[in-house]
Amino acid sequence: MRWRPRMTAMEPRAALILLLSIFLGLLLLARAHAETFDGRRVVIIDGDTIAIGSERVRILNVDTPETFRPRCEAELVAGLKAKERLAELLRAGPVGIDRHGEDRYRRTLARLSVGGRDVGSVLIAEGLALPWKDGRAAWEVRRRHWCG
């Protein structure tokens, strides 16, 4: 009789989470293709970041759930919803970009507007984003908000 290691109760669950993460990651990659808004090539990176050509633009004063390295499955799901809603908003009409400098990652900080509506405010009003606040305590509040 051959010895086989016993699987604990957590291992099947961890395997399922890993498979789900891989599937959602592939879905995310498939959806991160470029679109054209107002004649400009735009890639929706996540719910609060887009790329216009080589410029990365981070929506000023909002924070959406992470899709690249989410801290939990609920955050990933919420992040994908925010990303899709951002794409819908940008498809709705001419996109205005009001630039306000750069963040520490050298992304352009900007207010985005569509049809006179502030995109960040819409995402916050719909529960897909939180107002941005700096600092570790604010980060903990956001983490608890998305992951419980």
The token pair that represents 95 in the structure block: 């996109």
CATH of domain 33-147: 2.40.50.90
pLDDT, one tens digit per residue, over 32-49 is 555 666 577 889 999 999
Higher pLDDT among residues 3 and 92, named by residue: 92
Q: Where are the domains of the chain?
A: 33-147
Distances (CA, A) of 122 to 6, 15, 29, 114: 50, 37, 25, 10
Q: Residue 86 — pLDDT band, cuts 50, 70, 90?
A: very high
Residues whose CB falls within 8 Å of the CB of residue 8, separated by 6 or more in sequence, listed in order = none
Q: Residue 50 — pLDDT band, cuts 50, 70, 90?
A: very high
Q: What is the 3-state secondary structure (H, E, C) of 14-37?
A: HHHHHHHHHHHHHHHHHHCCEEEE
Least confident of 21-25, 131-135, 141-145: 21-25
pTM of the full predicted structure?
0.74
